[in-house]
Structure 1
């Protein structure tokens, strides 16, 4: 069993004024692939290093496999870690790099050879076992680092932005390989990244971090489709979620949000917010341009910029003085300054309190 439980972990930077992690609690199930996602400086790497034992918390508890390891030295935690840099020994051949940790543990030579061969086969490194790292590509060197980690039969595999040093094309292919590998191993994995595509494609669950705290945790699709805060909606997505600010008004037809001359219906339960500001959040790909609008959920936007991207066309529009981006079909074309009818499906709309940035109950 390799369940990881974090309870109220606090870590303060030197000086004591800023917390790297602020009472972080998280449970990672046995065999789960958990991704810690967030911008630089949000505390995700510090959290990973505390799990590894490379940093000690000021307070809180770390439990792995039912054992309290909060202050246990790293070598006694039975973890493996893959770092952002390749971290391979330049003076050792691939086979020696992969088997290094096993030799340190005093594992018999025959067992080392068997495990090295197994890992090399799994990561397509067999032809390179007699080469030095200088003769390998960046992707191959990172495979060596991963192979060295998995031969250790660790309870938990920790990864700190392992793909960040690879170019875009290599990152895409290695991401798929990594997902397949972790699925085959079934090892509990905690993976740190600032890349939202990595997080959404790799994780069984994604924990989004900001300012040392986890602001939302859940399956990738749930976090993407239902951001709990405007920060999450604005961080996930390329382009990110649109936010339109308006005022709640109520008439005979029910509550609506006034966006400065244009308006849309809001959920009936939000009528109690009459006269208050409200933020409408909607993903660019959810907006349909020029569609029939039987439910009267449409706005008119003036086209500012059209960017053909191959797989889609990105539109930047002005809606009553607010910027709205739309991912339209690849063949869509229109002239700058054109008035576009923008249909916003009600089920795709999310409503937020602009003061707190928190998601309001959609059924309200």
Structure 2
């Protein structure tokens, strides 16, 4: 069993006023693929480096498989790591690169040969075992780095933005290969990325970080559909979640939100916030758009129309506020045109305008 427990981990670099890791606690189950997601400088790589032993924590603990490794040197942690820059040895063949960690551990030659063949077959590197990295493409070099990491039977596999140096098409194909690979080997994995698509597609769970803290950690679609804060909603999604300002009104048993003269139906659970300002969050793809004034639809004016191939993106003005709408690829509109938008109450999310946190609604 290789579960991971990170408890109250703190790290502040000299000369910096704010912590790079601010009292972070996180549990990773045995065999789980957990993704750390966040913008540059949020502390996700620092957290991974502390787990790897490449940075020492100021305080806190890291427990892997029941063993406290917080202050052990990297070589005693039984971890393997895949870096963003590949970090393959240019003077060694593919076979020697893959075998490097095993040989450093003094593994028997026959076992090394068997494991190298297994990893090469798994990552489709068989024809390239006697080549050098300079003779490989970027995707092939990244496969070598992954193969080197998985052959050593580590307790924990760490991946620090391993796909960011690949072009878009190669990243797409390698992402699918990586997900299948990690599922097959079953190694507990901690993966760092700033790419929301990677996070949502790869992770069993996604931990969103900001300013050295974990803001939300849950299954990918829960994080996407129910962001814990406005930051999470605005960071995930392309385009991100829309946020509109309004005031809650409750009368005659109905609850509405006034967006500046436009009243939208709201769930009755929001009635306890009557009279208060709120922020309404809604994903662009959940908004229905039409040219007819259907019941429950609200009038809007098109500002920008952007065809994206698989869909069209409409920037519209609704009650004096701007929002994005994702419509089917066949839909057409022009700037200045009036369209009718329907915002489904069950897809709306509600936030405190002061804290940016999701409102706690009564059941």
- Is this a same-fold pair by TM over 0.5? yes
**Structure 1 counterpart SS, 2:260:** coil
**Preserved CA contact (<8 Å) 2:242 2:284:** yes
Q: CA deviation at 1:266?
A: 2.0
d(CA) in 2 for partners of 1:50 and 1:279? 37
1:267 matches 2:272: no
Q: How does 1:348-363 map to 2 (within 5 A)?
A: 348-363=347-362
d(CA) in 2 for partners of 1:274 and 1:223? 27
d(CA) in 2 for partners of 1:169 and 1:257? 43
Stretches of structure 1 that go unaligned for 5 or more consecutive residues are none
Aligned to 2:53: 53
Root-mean-square deviation (CA), in Å?
Answer: 1.3
Aligned to 1:86: 86
Q: CA deviation at 1:73?
A: 0.9
**Preserved CA contact (<8 Å) 1:350 1:362:** no
d(CA) in 2 for partners of 1:122 and 1:195? 25
**Preserved CA contact (<8 Å) 1:301 1:318:** yes
> So what's the TM-score if we normalise by structure 2?
0.97
Q: How does 1:1-364 map to 2 (within 5 A)?
A: 1-15=1-15, 17-252=17-252, 254-290=254-290, 293=294, 296=296, 298-363=297-362
Single out whichever of 298-307 and 271-280 deviates more from structure 2: 271-280
Q: CA deviation at 1:275?
A: 2.6
- The number of equivalent residue pairs is 362
**Preserved CA contact (<8 Å) 2:95 2:130:** yes
d(CA) in 2 for partners of 1:272 and 1:220? 30
**Preserved CA contact (<8 Å) 1:69 1:77:** yes
**Preserved CA contact (<8 Å) 2:293 2:340:** no
Stretches of structure 2 that go unaligned for 5 or more consecutive residues are none
**Structure 1 counterpart SS, 2:330:** coil
**Preserved CA contact (<8 Å) 1:246 1:260:** yes
d(CA) in 2 for partners of 1:80 and 1:41? 23
**Structure 2 counterpart SS, 1:139:** helix
Q: CA deviation at 1:254?
A: 2.3
**Preserved CA contact (<8 Å) 1:3 1:64:** yes
